[in-house]
Amino acid sequence: MKIATDLEGLRIDWRFKGFLPDDEPLSIDSIAGLGWDALGGDLLFPLALIKQSALDHNIRLMADYCRRAGVSFAPHAKTPIAPQIVRAQLTAGAWGITVATFHQCRVMRHFGVNRLFLANELLERRALRWLVEEIDRDPAFEFLCLVDSVAGVELMDEHLSDLRSATRIKVLVEVGSRGGRAGVRSIEEGVEVAAAVKRSERLQLVGVEGYEGIVASGRSEQAIAAIDAFLSDLRDLAGELGRRHLYAETDEILVTAGGSTYFDRVVDVLAGRPWSLERPVRVVLRSGSYIAHAAGRFDESAAFGSRHLVSSTEEFQQALEIWGMVLSRPEPALAILGFGKRDVAYDDGLPIPFKVRRRSGERVALGAASSILILNDQHARVEVPADLPLAPGDLVGFHITHPCTTFDKWRLLPVVDDEYRVVDAIATYF
């Protein structure tokens, strides 16, 4: 399963922050041969960039982990909405691709992804009709989405009722947590929803789904116990639906969960012991932000963060960085940098400074004594040691605490090697 490499002749021009072509707009395909130095004046600041070696490492690491664990992988594309990254994930062996919205589904379908898992309910008439038409047009296209209520099942049936098509939409019952997001709150509710699907002429039940990341935070004993309890409930519902013969006629039953923090718990609880159902069970992991990883609290909570699952070399690496220029040093312990909320995530921790590149080219590592005090729209107020040699025109690099809401602020990101030479660019489609 491959996706198209064509980015429709994307031309790099004034629309993309960070880039300033000298003459005519550049083709994205020409970037690798230009010899640009991302930090040496060939690009503009602020600048979000991707480290090629770290991205490749993270994709390989997760793919290898899933193979060893005996689970399938459908990485969540909502993090970057970048077909080029999706292509790399599929090449590494991904079973399918997860999306969060119908828009994301259309983007990935446009670039040729043949198996899409919408980890959400889909209740809009026009979207459902487009979907059926797309499946009828291309029988190789496989689509799955979620249901969590009898009312939702009936609404989907209503929207699809007058279509002259034999296509049935594959659905999974979503399991939620009290006070959380969508999803049934009990096995009894799950059975009711599954029974409604079985009565439907337009839908077919193929599995159960949940997202454990909203249940707890951190890796304390209490947090892990809560995560495991949620996943056990998910497993119990999957088994109960099988015992009641509520699944459609399908070769396998899908059981899926997993963000980028507790994916090891998903593997242990859902795939760590045999299933006793009449048909094979495919456990599908759906991590997304692992491709860039993240600093701070996320790093401490992630399965490949503060602890190692197999060996000391199995750690994710920060692949997404943002670099800003020092605009002012108005006080000894304060520096003003030229990036802000319009450029980087601030919803789940602030970026963490890790390195200075002085105008001379000298690189200086930064420790815990430096941190962002506050982000404005276009400025970062950064606390620095009073004796740190940092002057206007110097650059400061930051690791990202939340990749999802950083990617969505950039339509084109340069990809760099370990010396920050530009080797490619990645387009996003938010």
Structure confidence by residue, pLDDT tens digits, 322-368: 999 999 999 999 999 999 999 999 998 999 999 999 999 899 999 88
Does the pLDDT at position 4 exceed 60? no
Determine the Cα–Cα distance for residues 383 and 370; give it in Å rounded to an integer.
Answer: 5
Confidence of residue 313 (pLDDT cuts 50, 70, 90): low
* Sign of the torsion angle spanned by Cα atoms 374, 379, 385, 386: negative
* Confidence at residue 308, expressed as pLDDT on a 0 to 100 scale: 42
Number of H helices, E strands in the chain: 10, 20
Signed CA dihedral, 370, 375, 380, 383: sign only: negative
CATH ID of 114-287, from 3.30.360.10, 3.40.50.300, 3.30.420.10, 3.20.20.10: 3.20.20.10
Q: Tell me: pLDDT of 159 over 80.
A: yes
Distance CA 252, CA 280 (A): 5
pLDDT value, residue 348: 85
Spatial neighbors of 144 by CB under 8 A, at least 6 apart, are 116, 117, 118, 170, 171, 172, 206, 207, 254
Q: Looking at residues 187-202, what average pLDDT do you find?
A: 97
pLDDT at 7: 67
CA pair distance 412, 16, nearest whole angstrom: 6
- CATH superfamily for 11-51+316-427 is D-serine dehydratase-like domain (2.40.37.20)
Of 324, 254, 260, the closest CA to residue 80 belongs to: 260
Of 89 and 28, the one with more pLDDT? 89
Give the per-residue pLDDT at 249. Answer: 86
Q: Average pLDDT for residues 289-297, to the nearest whole number?
A: 84
CB atoms inside a 10 Å sphere around CB 305: 19
pLDDT exceeding 70 applies to what percent of the chain?
A: 94
SS3 354: strand
Contact 241, 196 (CB under 8 A): no
pLDDT in tens, 58-80: 999 999 999 999 999 999 999 99
CA-nearest of 240, 159, 164, 254 to 204 is 254
pLDDT of 203 higher than 80: yes
The CA angle 214-215-216, to the nearest 5 degrees, is 100
What is the DSSP code string of 274-336?
---SSS-EEEEE---GGGT---THHHHHSTTTTS-SS-TT------EEEEEEEEEEEETTEEE
Contacts of 103 (CB under 8 A, 6+ apart): none
Residue-level pLDDT at 250: 87
pLDDT of residue 297: 60
C-alpha–C-alpha distance, residues 218 and 228, integer Å: 13
Mean residue pLDDT across the chain: 92
pLDDT-derived band at 301, boundaries 50, 70, 90: low
- The answer to whether residues 399 and 409 touch, using CB atoms and an 8 Å cutoff, is no
Residue 8 has pLDDT above 70, yes or no: no
Percentage of the chain surpassing pLDDT 90? 80
Which pLDDT score, from 0 to 100, does residue 21 have?
77
CA distance 295 to 317: 9
In 3D space, the residue among 383, 375, 384 whose CA is nearest the CA of residue 409 turns out to be 375
Q: Where are the domains of the chain?
A: 11-51+316-427, 114-287
Residues 6+ apart with CB under 8 A from 130: 106
